[in-house]
Structure 1
Amino acid sequence: MFKRRVGELAKRPHIVPADATVTQAADLMVTADVSCLAAVTGARVLGFLTERELVRHLDVDLDPSTPIREILSRTGVGIAKDLGVDEAIKRMLERRERHLPVVDIGGSLVGLVTDKELVDALAVDFMVESVDCRAIMRADPICLGPGDSVRAALGQMRQKNAGCVLVTDAGKAAGIFTERDALRAIMGRPERLLDPLSAHMSGPVVCVPVDAMVYKVILYMRQKRVRRLAVTEADGRLAGLITQKDILLYARRMG
Protein backbone atom coordinates (compact mmCIF):
# COMPACT_ATOMS: atom_id res chain seq x y z
CA MET A 1 0.00 0.00 0.00
CA PHE A 2 1.24 3.43 -0.98
CA LYS A 3 3.05 4.81 2.08
CA ARG A 4 1.72 8.12 3.30
CA ARG A 5 1.24 9.47 6.82
CA VAL A 6 -2.03 10.84 8.12
CA GLY A 7 -0.32 14.04 9.19
CA GLU A 8 0.08 14.84 5.48
CA LEU A 9 -3.65 14.36 4.89
CA ALA A 10 -5.22 15.95 7.97
CA LYS A 11 -7.33 19.07 7.47
CA ARG A 12 -8.04 21.79 9.99
CA PRO A 13 -11.53 21.11 11.43
CA HIS A 14 -14.34 23.62 11.36
CA ILE A 15 -14.91 24.99 14.85
CA VAL A 16 -18.24 25.60 16.58
CA PRO A 17 -18.95 26.66 20.19
CA ALA A 18 -20.18 23.80 22.34
CA ASP A 19 -23.16 25.97 23.33
CA ALA A 20 -24.28 26.43 19.72
CA THR A 21 -27.65 24.88 18.90
CA VAL A 22 -28.01 21.82 16.70
CA THR A 23 -29.72 24.06 14.14
CA GLN A 24 -26.72 26.40 14.03
CA ALA A 25 -24.36 23.41 13.71
CA ALA A 26 -26.43 21.92 10.88
CA ASP A 27 -26.45 25.26 9.03
CA LEU A 28 -22.66 25.45 9.30
CA MET A 29 -22.23 21.89 8.01
CA VAL A 30 -24.42 22.59 4.99
CA THR A 31 -22.85 25.99 4.24
CA ALA A 32 -19.25 24.80 4.68
CA ASP A 33 -19.91 21.42 3.00
CA VAL A 34 -18.43 19.46 5.91
CA SER A 35 -19.67 16.45 7.84
CA CYS A 36 -17.85 16.98 11.15
CA LEU A 37 -17.37 19.93 13.51
CA ALA A 38 -15.02 20.35 16.44
CA ALA A 39 -16.99 21.60 19.47
CA VAL A 40 -14.96 23.99 21.63
CA THR A 41 -15.14 25.91 24.86
CA GLY A 42 -12.55 28.65 24.65
CA ALA A 43 -9.47 26.99 23.17
CA ARG A 44 -10.37 23.51 24.42
CA VAL A 45 -11.88 20.88 22.11
CA LEU A 46 -14.64 19.07 23.99
CA GLY A 47 -15.44 16.62 21.23
CA PHE A 48 -16.72 16.29 17.70
CA LEU A 49 -20.19 16.45 16.21
CA THR A 50 -20.87 14.53 13.02
CA GLU A 51 -23.58 14.80 10.42
CA ARG A 52 -24.68 11.26 11.22
CA GLU A 53 -25.17 12.03 14.90
CA LEU A 54 -27.53 14.86 13.99
CA VAL A 55 -29.45 12.89 11.38
CA ARG A 56 -30.00 9.92 13.69
CA HIS A 57 -32.12 12.17 15.93
CA LEU A 58 -33.98 14.19 13.31
CA ASP A 59 -37.15 12.11 13.29
CA VAL A 60 -37.01 11.04 16.94
CA ASP A 61 -36.38 13.51 19.71
CA LEU A 62 -34.18 16.36 18.52
CA ASP A 63 -35.21 19.81 19.68
CA PRO A 64 -33.74 22.38 17.23
CA SER A 65 -32.64 24.53 20.18
CA THR A 66 -30.64 21.74 21.85
CA PRO A 67 -27.01 22.79 22.50
CA ILE A 68 -24.63 20.47 20.73
CA ARG A 69 -22.71 19.75 23.94
CA GLU A 70 -25.65 17.50 24.90
CA ILE A 71 -25.24 15.16 21.93
CA LEU A 72 -21.48 15.01 21.49
CA SER A 73 -20.75 11.30 21.41
CA ARG A 74 -16.97 11.31 21.10
CA THR A 75 -14.10 12.81 22.94
CA GLY A 76 -10.90 13.67 21.13
CA VAL A 77 -9.22 10.24 21.15
CA GLY A 78 -6.71 10.83 18.39
CA ILE A 79 -4.28 8.99 16.16
CA ALA A 80 -0.63 9.99 15.84
CA LYS A 81 0.25 12.18 12.88
CA ASP A 82 2.99 9.77 11.76
CA LEU A 83 0.57 6.84 11.53
CA GLY A 84 0.50 5.21 8.09
CA VAL A 85 -2.57 5.34 5.86
CA ASP A 86 -3.01 1.55 6.06
CA GLU A 87 -3.15 1.62 9.86
CA ALA A 88 -5.46 4.65 9.83
CA ILE A 89 -7.88 2.76 7.57
CA LYS A 90 -7.82 -0.17 10.00
CA ARG A 91 -8.57 2.13 12.96
CA MET A 92 -11.36 3.93 11.11
CA LEU A 93 -13.08 0.69 10.17
CA GLU A 94 -12.67 -0.77 13.66
CA ARG A 95 -14.16 2.34 15.25
CA ARG A 96 -16.92 2.50 12.62
CA GLU A 97 -16.30 6.20 12.15
CA ARG A 98 -15.69 8.48 9.19
CA HIS A 99 -13.50 11.01 11.02
CA LEU A 100 -10.35 10.56 13.09
CA PRO A 101 -8.67 13.35 15.09
CA VAL A 102 -4.94 13.55 14.34
CA VAL A 103 -2.66 14.63 17.19
CA ASP A 104 1.01 15.51 17.59
CA ILE A 105 3.44 13.91 20.04
CA GLY A 106 2.16 16.15 22.83
CA GLY A 107 -1.47 15.19 22.20
CA SER A 108 -2.47 18.54 20.67
CA LEU A 109 -4.97 18.44 17.82
CA VAL A 110 -3.32 18.75 14.39
CA GLY A 111 -6.48 18.25 12.34
CA LEU A 112 -9.03 15.72 11.15
CA VAL A 113 -8.59 12.97 8.61
CA THR A 114 -11.78 11.67 7.03
CA ASP A 115 -12.62 8.70 4.84
CA LYS A 116 -12.43 11.09 1.89
CA GLU A 117 -8.74 11.91 2.46
CA LEU A 118 -7.89 8.23 2.97
CA VAL A 119 -9.74 7.21 -0.20
CA ASP A 120 -7.99 9.94 -2.21
CA ALA A 121 -4.65 8.55 -1.01
CA LEU A 122 -5.55 5.10 -2.38
CA ALA A 123 -5.90 5.98 -6.07
CA VAL A 124 -2.38 4.75 -6.91
CA ASP A 125 -2.95 1.44 -5.11
CA PHE A 126 -6.14 0.75 -7.03
CA MET A 127 -4.45 1.69 -10.31
CA VAL A 128 -1.86 -1.01 -9.67
CA GLU A 129 -4.51 -3.59 -8.68
CA SER A 130 -6.83 -2.89 -11.66
CA VAL A 131 -9.97 -3.37 -9.56
CA ASP A 132 -13.36 -2.56 -11.10
CA CYS A 133 -16.60 -1.44 -9.48
CA ARG A 134 -18.26 -4.84 -9.53
CA ALA A 135 -15.59 -6.14 -7.14
CA ILE A 136 -16.26 -3.62 -4.40
CA MET A 137 -19.81 -2.29 -4.81
CA ARG A 138 -22.64 -3.21 -2.47
CA ALA A 139 -25.33 -4.91 -4.54
CA ASP A 140 -28.11 -4.34 -1.99
CA PRO A 141 -28.21 -0.62 -1.10
CA ILE A 142 -31.25 0.83 0.63
CA CYS A 143 -33.77 1.65 -2.10
CA LEU A 144 -37.12 3.38 -1.72
CA GLY A 145 -39.60 4.84 -4.17
CA PRO A 146 -40.13 8.54 -4.92
CA GLY A 147 -43.43 8.47 -3.02
CA ASP A 148 -42.02 6.98 0.16
CA SER A 149 -41.73 9.39 3.07
CA VAL A 150 -38.69 11.16 4.42
CA ARG A 151 -39.48 9.56 7.80
CA ALA A 152 -39.27 6.10 6.23
CA ALA A 153 -35.89 6.95 4.69
CA LEU A 154 -34.46 8.26 7.97
CA GLY A 155 -35.68 5.14 9.77
CA GLN A 156 -33.93 2.89 7.24
CA MET A 157 -30.73 4.96 7.40
CA ARG A 158 -30.66 4.77 11.21
CA GLN A 159 -31.47 1.04 11.31
CA LYS A 160 -28.76 0.14 8.79
CA ASN A 161 -26.24 2.83 9.83
CA ALA A 162 -26.25 4.17 6.28
CA GLY A 163 -25.59 7.64 4.95
CA CYS A 164 -28.06 7.60 2.09
CA VAL A 165 -31.08 6.04 0.42
CA LEU A 166 -31.27 5.55 -3.33
CA VAL A 167 -34.61 6.58 -4.79
CA THR A 168 -35.48 4.19 -7.61
CA ASP A 169 -38.15 4.11 -10.29
CA ALA A 170 -38.58 1.19 -12.68
CA GLY A 171 -35.24 -0.29 -11.59
CA LYS A 172 -33.26 2.87 -12.28
CA ALA A 173 -31.81 5.48 -9.91
CA ALA A 174 -34.12 8.51 -9.96
CA GLY A 175 -32.46 10.36 -7.09
CA ILE A 176 -30.57 10.04 -3.84
CA PHE A 177 -31.45 11.22 -0.34
CA THR A 178 -28.38 11.77 1.82
CA GLU A 179 -27.60 12.92 5.35
CA ARG A 180 -26.77 16.34 3.91
CA ASP A 181 -30.19 16.50 2.20
CA ALA A 182 -31.81 15.61 5.53
CA LEU A 183 -30.02 18.40 7.40
CA ARG A 184 -30.76 20.92 4.68
CA ALA A 185 -34.47 20.14 4.40
CA ILE A 186 -35.67 18.75 7.73
CA MET A 187 -33.75 20.42 10.59
CA GLY A 188 -36.29 22.62 12.40
CA ARG A 189 -39.09 21.58 10.02
CA PRO A 190 -40.51 18.32 11.46
CA GLU A 191 -43.64 18.64 9.30
CA ARG A 192 -41.49 17.73 6.31
CA LEU A 193 -40.93 14.23 7.69
CA LEU A 194 -44.17 13.26 5.96
CA ASP A 195 -43.08 14.68 2.60
CA PRO A 196 -42.28 12.26 -0.25
CA LEU A 197 -38.62 11.68 -0.97
CA SER A 198 -39.12 13.20 -4.41
CA ALA A 199 -39.52 16.61 -2.72
CA HIS A 200 -36.06 16.57 -1.09
CA MET A 201 -33.87 14.06 -2.92
CA SER A 202 -30.85 15.17 -4.94
CA GLY A 203 -30.63 14.44 -8.62
CA PRO A 204 -29.60 13.46 -11.11
CA VAL A 205 -27.64 10.70 -9.37
CA VAL A 206 -23.93 10.57 -10.20
CA CYS A 207 -23.44 7.13 -11.79
CA VAL A 208 -20.59 4.96 -13.05
CA PRO A 209 -20.72 1.70 -15.07
CA VAL A 210 -20.04 -1.62 -13.36
CA ASP A 211 -16.81 -2.14 -15.30
CA ALA A 212 -15.29 1.27 -14.40
CA MET A 213 -11.86 1.02 -12.79
CA VAL A 214 -11.94 2.02 -9.13
CA TYR A 215 -8.92 4.32 -9.38
CA LYS A 216 -10.85 6.33 -11.98
CA VAL A 217 -13.91 6.28 -9.73
CA ILE A 218 -11.85 7.76 -6.88
CA LEU A 219 -10.74 10.60 -9.14
CA TYR A 220 -14.33 11.06 -10.37
CA MET A 221 -15.62 11.27 -6.78
CA ARG A 222 -13.04 13.96 -6.08
CA GLN A 223 -14.01 15.86 -9.23
CA LYS A 224 -17.76 15.69 -8.50
CA ARG A 225 -17.29 16.31 -4.76
CA VAL A 226 -19.45 13.30 -3.80
CA ARG A 227 -19.00 10.51 -1.24
CA ARG A 228 -21.03 7.87 -3.02
CA LEU A 229 -21.91 6.78 -6.55
CA ALA A 230 -24.64 4.64 -8.08
CA VAL A 231 -23.31 1.77 -10.20
CA THR A 232 -25.28 0.92 -13.32
CA GLU A 233 -25.54 -1.85 -15.86
CA ALA A 234 -25.12 -1.11 -19.57
CA ASP A 235 -28.90 -0.61 -19.97
CA GLY A 236 -29.04 1.94 -17.14
CA ARG A 237 -30.52 -0.39 -14.53
CA LEU A 238 -29.17 0.02 -11.00
CA ALA A 239 -26.49 -2.55 -10.16
CA GLY A 240 -25.35 -1.26 -6.76
CA LEU A 241 -23.76 1.54 -4.78
CA ILE A 242 -20.16 2.47 -4.01
CA THR A 243 -19.33 4.56 -0.96
CA GLN A 244 -16.01 5.66 0.42
CA LYS A 245 -16.39 3.04 3.14
CA ASP A 246 -16.66 0.29 0.48
CA ILE A 247 -13.38 1.47 -1.04
CA LEU A 248 -11.68 1.43 2.37
CA LEU A 249 -13.00 -2.05 3.15
CA TYR A 250 -11.57 -3.41 -0.09
CA ALA A 251 -8.27 -1.58 0.47
CA ARG A 252 -8.03 -3.18 3.91
CA ARG A 253 -8.27 -6.62 2.29
CA MET A 254 -5.62 -5.63 -0.30
CA GLY A 255 -3.27 -4.63 2.50
Structure 2
Amino acid sequence: MFKQRVGELAKRPHIVAAEASVAQAADLMGREGISCLAAVSGAKVVGFLTENNLVRHFDVDLDLDASIRDFLTKPEGAVSKDMRVSEAVKLLLERVVRHLPVMDFNGSLLGLVTEKELVDALAVDFMVEDAVCSDLMRRDPVTLPADRSVREALALMREKNADCLLALHADKPAGILSERDVLSRIMGFPERLTAPVSHHMTAPVISVPTTAVVYKVILFMRQKGVRRLAVIHENGTLAGMLSQRDILVYARRIGL
Protein backbone atom coordinates (compact mmCIF):
# COMPACT_ATOMS: atom_id res chain seq x y z
CA MET A 1 0.00 0.00 0.00
CA PHE A 2 2.15 2.84 -1.27
CA LYS A 3 5.11 1.72 0.86
CA GLN A 4 7.63 2.65 -1.79
CA ARG A 5 9.55 5.90 -1.87
CA VAL A 6 9.83 8.00 -4.99
CA GLY A 7 13.60 7.56 -5.07
CA GLU A 8 13.00 3.90 -5.90
CA LEU A 9 10.86 4.85 -8.89
CA ALA A 10 12.68 7.87 -10.32
CA LYS A 11 14.18 7.47 -13.79
CA ARG A 12 17.19 9.34 -15.09
CA PRO A 13 15.94 12.15 -17.34
CA HIS A 14 17.11 12.67 -20.89
CA ILE A 15 19.29 15.76 -21.12
CA VAL A 16 19.24 18.54 -23.70
CA ALA A 17 21.22 21.79 -23.89
CA ALA A 18 19.16 24.82 -22.91
CA GLU A 19 20.24 26.52 -26.13
CA ALA A 20 19.00 23.66 -28.31
CA SER A 21 16.37 24.56 -30.87
CA VAL A 22 12.75 23.51 -30.64
CA ALA A 23 13.27 21.28 -33.69
CA GLN A 24 16.26 19.52 -32.07
CA ALA A 25 14.42 18.93 -28.81
CA ALA A 26 11.27 17.70 -30.54
CA ASP A 27 13.34 15.31 -32.65
CA LEU A 28 15.01 13.89 -29.52
CA MET A 29 11.67 13.44 -27.74
CA GLY A 30 10.19 11.71 -30.78
CA ARG A 31 13.15 9.37 -31.31
CA GLU A 32 13.35 8.37 -27.65
CA GLY A 33 9.59 8.22 -27.09
CA ILE A 34 9.75 10.46 -24.03
CA SER A 35 7.52 13.23 -22.75
CA CYS A 36 10.02 15.34 -20.79
CA LEU A 37 13.61 16.57 -21.16
CA ALA A 38 15.86 18.17 -18.56
CA ALA A 39 17.45 21.30 -20.04
CA VAL A 40 20.95 22.06 -18.78
CA SER A 41 23.34 24.97 -18.97
CA GLY A 42 26.76 23.66 -18.07
CA ALA A 43 26.14 21.22 -15.22
CA LYS A 44 23.02 23.00 -13.95
CA VAL A 45 19.45 21.98 -14.70
CA VAL A 46 17.68 25.20 -15.69
CA GLY A 47 14.28 23.79 -16.58
CA PHE A 48 12.21 21.00 -18.06
CA LEU A 49 10.70 20.75 -21.51
CA THR A 50 7.54 18.68 -21.96
CA GLU A 51 5.53 17.59 -24.97
CA ASN A 52 2.76 19.86 -23.75
CA ASN A 53 5.10 22.90 -23.61
CA LEU A 54 5.62 22.55 -27.36
CA VAL A 55 2.32 21.23 -28.69
CA ARG A 56 0.17 23.91 -27.09
CA HIS A 57 2.09 26.49 -29.16
CA PHE A 58 2.31 24.46 -32.33
CA ASP A 59 0.60 26.01 -35.39
CA VAL A 60 0.16 29.26 -33.46
CA ASP A 61 3.48 30.91 -32.60
CA LEU A 62 6.08 28.16 -32.46
CA ASP A 63 9.33 28.91 -34.26
CA LEU A 64 11.16 25.62 -34.79
CA ASP A 65 14.50 27.42 -34.90
CA ALA A 66 13.92 29.22 -31.59
CA SER A 67 15.76 28.23 -28.42
CA ILE A 68 13.78 26.03 -26.07
CA ARG A 69 14.51 28.43 -23.20
CA ASP A 70 11.24 30.29 -23.77
CA PHE A 71 9.25 27.07 -23.36
CA LEU A 72 10.87 25.61 -20.27
CA THR A 73 9.10 24.82 -17.02
CA LYS A 74 11.22 26.16 -14.16
CA PRO A 75 13.03 23.53 -12.06
CA GLU A 76 10.99 24.25 -8.95
CA GLY A 77 9.00 22.03 -6.65
CA ALA A 78 11.44 19.14 -6.54
CA VAL A 79 10.65 16.41 -4.04
CA SER A 80 12.89 14.40 -1.76
CA LYS A 81 13.79 10.88 -2.78
CA ASP A 82 12.36 9.72 0.56
CA MET A 83 8.87 11.08 -0.13
CA ARG A 84 6.23 8.38 0.09
CA VAL A 85 4.54 7.44 -3.15
CA SER A 86 1.14 8.35 -1.69
CA GLU A 87 2.36 11.91 -1.08
CA ALA A 88 3.87 12.10 -4.56
CA VAL A 89 0.54 11.12 -6.11
CA LYS A 90 -1.23 13.80 -4.06
CA LEU A 91 1.30 16.43 -5.10
CA LEU A 92 1.26 15.47 -8.78
CA LEU A 93 -2.54 15.70 -8.89
CA GLU A 94 -2.65 18.99 -6.99
CA ARG A 95 -0.10 20.59 -9.29
CA VAL A 96 -1.80 19.15 -12.39
CA VAL A 97 1.54 17.98 -13.78
CA ARG A 98 2.79 14.69 -15.20
CA HIS A 99 6.35 14.74 -13.84
CA LEU A 100 7.98 15.40 -10.47
CA PRO A 101 11.73 16.07 -10.25
CA VAL A 102 13.33 14.02 -7.49
CA MET A 103 16.38 15.32 -5.62
CA ASP A 104 19.00 13.46 -3.63
CA PHE A 105 20.40 14.53 -0.23
CA ASN A 106 22.87 16.92 -1.90
CA GLY A 107 20.17 18.74 -3.83
CA SER A 108 21.21 17.23 -7.15
CA LEU A 109 18.66 15.96 -9.64
CA LEU A 110 18.27 12.22 -9.11
CA GLY A 111 15.61 11.72 -11.76
CA LEU A 112 11.98 12.17 -12.68
CA VAL A 113 8.99 10.26 -11.44
CA THR A 114 6.03 10.28 -13.81
CA GLU A 115 2.44 9.11 -13.88
CA LYS A 116 3.68 5.87 -15.42
CA GLU A 117 5.96 4.94 -12.53
CA LEU A 118 3.28 5.81 -9.99
CA VAL A 119 0.63 3.75 -11.78
CA ASP A 120 3.01 0.80 -12.09
CA ALA A 121 3.58 1.02 -8.34
CA LEU A 122 -0.18 0.73 -7.87
CA ALA A 123 -0.62 -2.51 -9.77
CA VAL A 124 -0.25 -4.77 -6.73
CA ASP A 125 -2.63 -2.61 -4.67
CA PHE A 126 -5.31 -2.95 -7.33
CA MET A 127 -5.11 -6.76 -7.10
CA VAL A 128 -7.34 -6.59 -4.04
CA GLU A 129 -9.76 -4.14 -5.64
CA ASP A 130 -12.69 -5.18 -7.82
CA ALA A 131 -12.72 -1.92 -9.75
CA VAL A 132 -13.49 -2.11 -13.46
CA CYS A 133 -12.89 0.46 -16.18
CA SER A 134 -16.39 1.90 -16.01
CA ASP A 135 -15.66 2.92 -12.38
CA LEU A 136 -12.62 4.99 -13.33
CA MET A 137 -12.94 6.05 -16.95
CA ARG A 138 -13.53 9.58 -18.19
CA ARG A 139 -16.95 9.53 -19.78
CA ASP A 140 -16.49 12.71 -21.81
CA PRO A 141 -13.08 12.43 -23.51
CA VAL A 142 -12.16 14.92 -26.20
CA THR A 143 -13.27 13.52 -29.55
CA LEU A 144 -13.35 14.59 -33.19
CA PRO A 145 -14.46 12.88 -36.41
CA ALA A 146 -11.46 11.23 -38.03
CA ASP A 147 -12.00 13.16 -41.27
CA ARG A 148 -11.52 16.59 -39.63
CA SER A 149 -8.21 18.39 -40.06
CA VAL A 150 -5.17 18.17 -37.83
CA ARG A 151 -5.37 21.95 -37.35
CA GLU A 152 -8.90 21.59 -35.96
CA ALA A 153 -7.70 18.81 -33.69
CA LEU A 154 -4.88 20.95 -32.28
CA ALA A 155 -7.23 23.86 -31.66
CA LEU A 156 -9.63 21.58 -29.81
CA MET A 157 -6.83 20.08 -27.71
CA ARG A 158 -5.75 23.60 -26.72
CA GLU A 159 -9.31 24.64 -25.91
CA LYS A 160 -9.88 21.58 -23.73
CA ASN A 161 -6.33 21.55 -22.32
CA ALA A 162 -6.11 17.94 -23.48
CA ASP A 163 -2.99 15.92 -24.23
CA CYS A 164 -4.80 13.82 -26.83
CA LEU A 165 -8.11 13.25 -28.57
CA LEU A 166 -9.93 10.22 -29.85
CA ALA A 167 -10.77 10.21 -33.55
CA LEU A 168 -14.18 8.67 -34.22
CA HIS A 169 -15.79 6.97 -37.17
CA ALA A 170 -19.47 6.05 -36.81
CA ASP A 171 -19.24 6.61 -33.03
CA LYS A 172 -16.45 4.06 -32.75
CA PRO A 173 -12.84 4.96 -31.84
CA ALA A 174 -10.79 4.81 -35.04
CA GLY A 175 -7.54 6.15 -33.65
CA ILE A 176 -5.91 8.55 -31.25
CA LEU A 177 -3.99 11.76 -31.87
CA SER A 178 -1.63 12.49 -28.99
CA GLU A 179 0.97 15.15 -28.31
CA ARG A 180 3.59 12.54 -29.15
CA ASP A 181 1.99 11.96 -32.56
CA VAL A 182 2.06 15.69 -33.21
CA LEU A 183 5.76 15.98 -32.34
CA SER A 184 6.83 12.95 -34.35
CA ARG A 185 4.53 13.22 -37.37
CA ILE A 186 3.38 16.81 -37.78
CA MET A 187 6.03 19.14 -36.42
CA GLY A 188 8.29 20.28 -39.25
CA PHE A 189 5.63 19.50 -41.85
CA PRO A 190 3.19 22.46 -41.80
CA GLU A 191 1.45 21.14 -44.90
CA ARG A 192 0.13 18.26 -42.79
CA LEU A 193 -1.95 20.61 -40.66
CA THR A 194 -4.67 20.57 -43.32
CA ALA A 195 -4.66 16.78 -43.66
CA PRO A 196 -7.36 14.66 -42.01
CA VAL A 197 -6.57 13.41 -38.52
CA SER A 198 -6.91 9.88 -39.89
CA HIS A 199 -3.69 10.37 -41.90
CA HIS A 200 -1.52 10.99 -38.84
CA MET A 201 -3.25 9.46 -35.83
CA THR A 202 -2.11 6.26 -34.13
CA ALA A 203 -4.40 3.49 -35.31
CA PRO A 204 -5.98 1.21 -34.51
CA VAL A 205 -6.56 2.62 -31.06
CA ILE A 206 -5.96 0.17 -28.21
CA SER A 207 -9.24 -0.42 -26.41
CA VAL A 208 -10.69 -2.43 -23.54
CA PRO A 209 -14.28 -3.22 -22.52
CA THR A 210 -16.05 -1.33 -19.75
CA THR A 211 -15.95 -4.49 -17.61
CA ALA A 212 -12.17 -4.95 -17.80
CA VAL A 213 -10.58 -5.30 -14.35
CA VAL A 214 -8.31 -2.34 -13.63
CA TYR A 215 -5.47 -4.45 -12.25
CA LYS A 216 -5.25 -6.33 -15.54
CA VAL A 217 -5.62 -3.10 -17.50
CA ILE A 218 -2.62 -1.58 -15.70
CA LEU A 219 -0.53 -4.58 -16.69
CA PHE A 220 -1.90 -4.37 -20.24
CA MET A 221 -0.97 -0.69 -20.50
CA ARG A 222 2.53 -1.51 -19.27
CA GLN A 223 2.84 -4.32 -21.82
CA LYS A 224 1.68 -2.11 -24.69
CA GLY A 225 3.67 0.92 -23.55
CA VAL A 226 0.65 3.25 -23.66
CA ARG A 227 -0.57 5.96 -21.32
CA ARG A 228 -4.26 5.81 -22.17
CA LEU A 229 -6.87 3.45 -23.62
CA ALA A 230 -10.27 3.78 -25.25
CA VAL A 231 -13.03 2.08 -23.29
CA ILE A 232 -15.79 0.59 -25.43
CA HIS A 233 -19.28 -0.83 -25.10
CA GLU A 234 -20.08 -4.37 -26.28
CA ASN A 235 -21.11 -3.01 -29.69
CA GLY A 236 -17.74 -1.28 -30.15
CA THR A 237 -18.98 2.27 -29.64
CA LEU A 238 -17.04 4.61 -27.39
CA ALA A 239 -17.86 4.54 -23.69
CA GLY A 240 -14.96 6.65 -22.42
CA MET A 241 -11.22 6.86 -21.97
CA LEU A 242 -8.97 5.55 -19.22
CA SER A 243 -5.61 7.24 -18.68
CA GLN A 244 -2.85 6.83 -16.13
CA ARG A 245 -4.04 10.04 -14.48
CA ASP A 246 -7.57 8.64 -14.13
CA ILE A 247 -6.12 5.64 -12.31
CA LEU A 248 -4.18 7.89 -9.93
CA VAL A 249 -7.25 10.04 -9.24
CA TYR A 250 -9.28 6.95 -8.37
CA ALA A 251 -6.52 5.50 -6.19
CA ARG A 252 -6.30 8.77 -4.30
CA ARG A 253 -10.06 8.89 -3.85
CA ILE A 254 -10.32 5.43 -2.31
CA GLY A 255 -7.19 5.89 -0.21
CA LEU A 256 -4.87 3.29 -1.72
Deviates more, 1:182-191 or 1:31-40: 182-191
Deviates more, 1:147-156 or 1:70-79: 70-79
**Deviation of the 1:178 alpha carbon:** 0.6
The answer as to whether partners of 2:93 and 2:249 remain within 8 angstroms in 1 is yes
Aligned mates of 2:74, 2:158 — CA distance in 1? 18
Q: Determine the structure 1 residue equivalent to 2:161.
A: 161
Count of residue pairs the alignment pairs up = 255
**Deviation of the 1:2 alpha carbon:** 3.0
The answer as to whether partners of 2:230 and 2:240 remain within 8 angstroms in 1 is yes
User: In the alignment, does 2:59 pair up with 1:59?
Assistant: yes
The 3-state SS of whatever aligns with 1:253 is: helix
**Deviation of the 1:73 alpha carbon:** 2.4
Q: 2:230 is matched by which residue type in structure 1? A: A
Deviates more, 1:174-183 or 1:191-200: 191-200
Aligned mates of 1:2, 1:124 — CA distance in 2? 10
Aligned mates of 1:12, 1:250 — CA distance in 2? 27
Q: 1:21 is matched by which residue type in structure 2? A: S
Q: 1:133 is matched by which residue type in structure 2? A: C
The answer as to whether partners of 1:45 and 1:76 remain within 8 angstroms in 2 is no
Once the two structures are superposed, what CA deviation does each residue of 1:34-69 show, in whole Å capped at 9, x if it has no partner? Answer: 000000011110010000111001021000001111
Once the two structures are superposed, what CA deviation does each residue of 1:129-151 show, in whole Å capped at 9, x if it has no partner? Answer: 22110000011111111111111
**Deviation of the 1:152 alpha carbon:** 1.2
User: In the alignment, does 2:144 pair up with 1:144?
Assistant: yes
Aligned mates of 1:49, 1:214 — CA distance in 2? 31
Q: Determine the structure 2 residue equivalent to 1:217.
A: 217
Aligned mates of 1:28, 1:116 — CA distance in 2? 20
Q: 2:133 is matched by which residue type in structure 1? A: C
Aligned mates of 2:71, 2:170 — CA distance in 1? 40
The answer as to whether partners of 2:2 and 2:84 remain within 8 angstroms in 1 is no
**Deviation of the 1:77 alpha carbon:** 2.6
Q: State TM-score, norm by structure 2.
A: 0.97
**Deviation of the 1:104 alpha carbon:** 1.4
Aligned mates of 1:80, 1:3 — CA distance in 2? 15
**Runs of 5+ consecutive residues of structure 1 not aligned to the other structure:** none
Aligned-residue CA RMSD (Å): 0.9
**Deviation of the 1:85 alpha carbon:** 0.8
Q: 2:246 is matched by which residue type in structure 1? A: D
Aligned mates of 1:254, 1:126 — CA distance in 2? 11
Aligned mates of 1:61, 1:75 — CA distance in 2? 24
Q: 1:50 is matched by which residue type in structure 2? A: T
Identity %: 62
**Deviation of the 1:189 alpha carbon:** 2.0
Deviates more, 1:50-59 or 1:70-79: 70-79
Q: Determine the structure 1 residue equivalent to 2:125.
A: 125
The answer as to whether partners of 2:132 and 2:214 remain within 8 angstroms in 1 is yes
**Deviation of the 1:156 alpha carbon:** 1.4
Q: State TM-score, norm by structure 1.
A: 0.98
Q: Determine the structure 1 residue equivalent to 2:233.
A: 233
**Runs of 5+ consecutive residues of structure 2 not aligned to the other structure:** none
The 3-state SS of whatever aligns with 2:208 is: strand
**Deviation of the 1:225 alpha carbon:** 0.3
Q: Where do 1:106-117 residues align within 5 Å?
A: 106-117=106-117
**Deviation of the 1:233 alpha carbon:** 1.0
Q: Determine the structure 1 residue equivalent to 2:245.
A: 245
Q: 1:85 is matched by which residue type in structure 2? A: V
Aligned mates of 1:81, 1:234 — CA distance in 2? 44
Aligned mates of 2:63, 2:122 — CA distance in 1? 40
